[in-house]
Amino acid sequence: MKEIITPALVLDLELLKQNIKLMADFGRKNHIGIRPHFKTHKCLEIARLQIKAGAVGITAQTIDETEALVKGGIKSVLLANQLVEQAKIERFLSLCDLAPEVLLCVDSENNLRLLDKLAGAAGVKLKVLVEVDIGMNRAGRKPGEDTVHFVKKVLACPNIEFKGLQGYEGHAVLISDREERIKTASAAVELLAGARKLLLNENIKCQIVSAGGTGTYDLTGKNSGVTDIQPGSYVFMDAKYAAIRKEFIPALCVHTTVLASRGKGVYTADAGHKALTSEFGMPALLDKTGSIEKLNEEHTRLKLTQGSLLPGDRVRILPSHCCTTVNLYDNVYVSDKSQVSEIWKIQRQRAV
């Protein structure tokens, strides 16, 4: 590992595979599809491992992620978001014939009209999920009659195919008290299952009802009104999720090098805000007892309460939020039995 230039993102292959298997086993046991979220790793090799383990498809959040997945050979891709700009919609439409199933979310009449018009012009029958707001208040129709009314509008569009419903209980996934999380997530997912029932009463079938994240996979994944779940962070884990999800093991860390000792257990290492994100709080030390006190642009200030370090020593740091930290890197070093076995690309390009 000494050959790695720090700061660097390092992934333990064995632990990654264990996390993927645990989620895949949950899906098989509970007859729920796993549609892992690409936004966590943006890495095609990991998406392929998830599919190989039994995932029904992969979830994306942006047009760039969708393009990377479709062109990377993933057969079912759900863009769990709205596209409202014409250029992005046209890019999406150009992907629809490259994979058996490419799905997009829609939640407004304006957008629906534009999607229908552009799909018609491209000669594509666009597959959509109607997004339902199940309490996060980010996007989506209201769960009751408003959803039914909107789905009927979707069904009336000649160039659109209605495939089902999307919901995300993002306001519940990180609630630390398990009872409180169960209560909030269950209420949210019931709204989605209820919308599906209302549609069934009108003889409108939902082939897909998708929701859920790492914090709620075991609650949402057991609701019979849901067909698949979209967990992302479980593959890597991070300090935030590690506090509430013990069954998955942190597989990803940032390697840093100690640059200087400041005395009294305080050290400066070479990973700052440009190597670690902190919107979920400070990252954590992995093998040392102590904490990270501060991040600057290119420096970490850490304090040990036990042991000592010398300039040149390596320190492994557990990100507080794996998804945004990964997005700072072009590559991840894959470690197999403590040796770098491969370097995988992170697909973080953004269309200009």
Q: Say whether 14 sits in a helix, a strand or coil.
A: helix
Contact assessment for residue 148 and residue 162, using Cβ atoms and an 8 Å cutoff: no
DSSP classification of residue 201: H
Residue nearest to ligand PLP (CB): 213
Judge whether 237 and 2 are in contact, CB under 8 Å: no
- In the complex with ligand PLP, the residue whose CB is nearer, 80 or 99, is 80
Q: Which is nearer to ligand PLP, 215 or 290 (CB)?
A: 215
Could you identify the residue written with the tokens 């495939």?
163
Which residue ranges make up the site for ligand PLP (CB under 6 A)? 37, 40, 59, 80, 168, 170, 173, 213-215, 230-233, 323
Distance, CA of 106 to CA of 352 (rounded, Å)? 23
Task: Output 164 or 213, the one with its CB closest to ligand PLP.
Answer: 213
What's the closest the beta carbon of residue 127 comes to ligand PLP, in angstroms? 17
In the complex, least distance from residue 321 CB atom to ligand PLP, rounded to whole angstroms: 9
d(CA 155, CA 186): 29
Q: Considering the complex, what minimum distance in angstroms separates the CB of residue 315 from ligand PLP?
A: 25
CA dist list (Å): 134 to 96, 127, 138, 139, 200: 28, 22, 9, 9, 19
Q: Are 306 and 242 in contact (CB under 8 A)?
A: no
R_g (Cα) of the chain, nearest Å:
22
Q: Which is nearer to ligand PLP, 106 or 323 (CB)?
A: 323
Q: Decide whether 150 or 168 has the Cβ nearer to ligand PLP.
A: 168
Q: Smallest distance from the beta carbon of 233 to ligand PLP, in angstroms?
A: 3
Measured from the CB of residue 242, what is the shortest distance to ligand PLP in angstroms?
13
**Which residues of the chain form beta strands (DSSP E)?**
8-12, 33-34, 58-60, 76-79, 101-106, 126-131, 160-166, 208-211, 228-229, 252-263, 266-269, 284-285, 290-295, 300-304, 314-318, 331-336, 339-345
Least distance CB 55 / ligand PLP (angstroms): 13
| Residue with token string 């992934």 | 11
CB of 212 to ligand PLP, least distance (A): 7
The residue (of 219 and 309) whose beta carbon lies closer to ligand PLP is: 219
d(CA 43, CA 331): 9
Q: Cβ of residue 287: shortest distance to ligand PLP, in angstroms?
A: 25
Q: What is the DSSP string of 240-299?
A: HHHTT--SS---EEEEEEEEEEEETTEEEES--TTT---TTS--EESSSSEEEEEE-SS-
Q: Which is nearer to ligand PLP, 78 or 276 (CB)?
A: 78
* Cβ nearer to ligand PLP, comparing 6 with 166: 166
